[in-house]
Amino acid sequence: MVFAPAPQLTVTIEQHHDEPELHVHPGGQGIWQTRMITSLGARVTLCAAAGGEVGRVLAPLLALPGVTLRLVMREHGSGWYVHDRRGGSRQEIAERPGTPLSRHELDELYNLTLAEGLRAGIAILSGPAHPSVIKPEVYGRLAADLRSNGCKVIADLCSRHLAAVLEAGITVLKISHEELIADGMAPDGSTGSLVKALIQLHESGAETVLVSRADEGALALFDGEIYTVALPRLTPAEHRGAGDSMTAGVAATLAHGGHIEEAVRTGAAAGALNVTRHGLGTGHVDAVRVLTERVRLTPIEKA
């Protein structure tokens, strides 16, 4: 189950030979994770909310292949963004994260998410486009209720939303080194600083911790050991989305009964592959499998 409380409508303008080309898709962290999970052969139940004029356009787009959609229709607007990539780089034209969910909308979304998470046995809690859309305590209650009833919880969160789920305890946390620095958990991106942050996050409630570091590879803490995760070197087409694909690779492997080491390696391979594609949360399963064999985990000593 993927909890994506506030997906966005994404509009991207690209150049195809001599003509502009318009792409309209559902977007947001949970949507990109869902795409990659289904690419890796696991089925997903997507729990989300959409509303307003944008939501009426967005809702049918959320019916993705291999996905069971559980959608709460809202009274007010879903978020959206418009990007222009005709010049080769992404230019943000306009963006709105969406309005906060009302109490009644949250109650309905919470209930169906809890039920579907328990039914699935593995749940990803993905973040909203802006923290104002849904309060951190909702994530904390959801993580606690899922965990206490036997569900594995994977979180891809930061700041106050992360603090809320750590208090409840989670199975896997994925976070970027930029988020750790922004949250004040690491003074810089050095390996020593990030290792200390990994240990702190583990002691705070995350059984397994993954820290993505862009093209420097990742760091991982699982089964009481800390590892550097060496990724295959590939030429990037789009830097965004690698972290979401890493989370998805971990979730898909655990859903198939794989060990956490295999999950980390698959997540690293999925993240590395995603940067070779313009579509976020996409990748071919055979390519991920080949790259997984080339991911190297090297133990490092704790400071």
pLDDT of residue 64: 94
- The CATH number of whichever domain residue 34 belongs to comes to 3.40.1190.20
Question: For 107, left (φ over 0), alpha (ψ -120 to 50), or beta?
Answer: alpha
Least confident among 124-133, 188-197, 198-207, 239-248: 239-248
Angle at 134 between CA 49 and CA 196, to 5 degrees: 125
Write the pLDDT tens digit of every residue in 50-69: 999 999 999 999 999 999 99
Average pLDDT over residues 6-14: 96
**pLDDT band, very low/low/confident/very high, at 236 (cuts 50, 70, 90):** low
Check residue 46 and report its DSSP letter: E
Cβ neighbourhood burial of 186 (10 Å; 0-12, 13-18, 19+):
buried
Which two three-digit tokens encode residue 42?
């696991």
Position 283 pLDDT exceeds 60:
no
pLDDT of residue 90: 86
**pLDDT band, very low/low/confident/very high, at 280 (cuts 50, 70, 90):** very low
Across the chain, mean pLDDT equals: 91
Position 1 pLDDT exceeds 80:
yes
For residue 48, CA distances in Å to 45, 111, 257 come to: 10, 12, 26
Position 268 pLDDT exceeds 70:
yes
Identify which of 7, 24, 132 has the alpha carbon closest to the alpha carbon of residue 83: 24
Percent of the chain with pLDDT over 70: 92
Which two three-digit tokens encode residue 185?
């958990």
> Facing residues of 81 across strands?
10, 95
Instruction: Work out how many domains the chain is built from and give that number.
Output: 1
Average pLDDT over residues 273-277: 62
Position 172 pLDDT exceeds 70:
yes
pTM of the full predicted structure? 0.91
Q: How far apart are CA 288 and CA 15, in angstroms?
A: 28
Average pLDDT over residues 214-230: 90
The full 3-state SS of 196-249, as one line of letters, equals HHHHHHHHHCEEEEEEECHHHCEEEEECCEEEEEECCCCCCCCCCCHHHHHHHH
Residues 28/7, Cβ–Cβ less than 8 Å:
yes
Average pLDDT over residues 161-168: 96
Average pLDDT over residues 103-127: 97
**pLDDT band, very low/low/confident/very high, at 4 (cuts 50, 70, 90):** very high
Check residue 90 and report its DSSP letter: -
Domain span at residue 250? 2-300
Segments in the chain forming alpha helices (H)? 29-39, 52-61, 103-120, 136-148, 159-168, 177-182, 191-204, 242-255, 260-274, 285-292
Q: Determine how many CB atoms are found less than 10 A away from the CB of residue 276.
A: 15
Position 88 pLDDT exceeds 70:
yes
Edge-to-edge strands, sheet with 91-98: 19-27, 8-16, 78-84, 91-98
Write the pLDDT tens digit of every residue in 129-160: 899 999 999 999 999 999 999 999 999 999 99
Position 11 pLDDT exceeds 50:
yes
Position 282 pLDDT exceeds 60:
no
240 vs 118: which has the higher pLDDT: 118
Which two three-digit tokens encode residue 231?
């990724």
Long-range contacts of 70-76 (CB under 8 A, 24+ apart): 70/45, 70/46, 70/112, 70/113, 70/116, 72/48, 72/105, 72/108, 72/109, 72/112, 73/49, 74/49, 74/50, 74/101, 74/102, 74/105, 75/51, 75/102, 75/105, 76/51, 76/52, 76/102
The dihedrals phi and psi of 86, each to the nearest 5 degrees, come to -65, -25
pLDDT of residue 275: 58
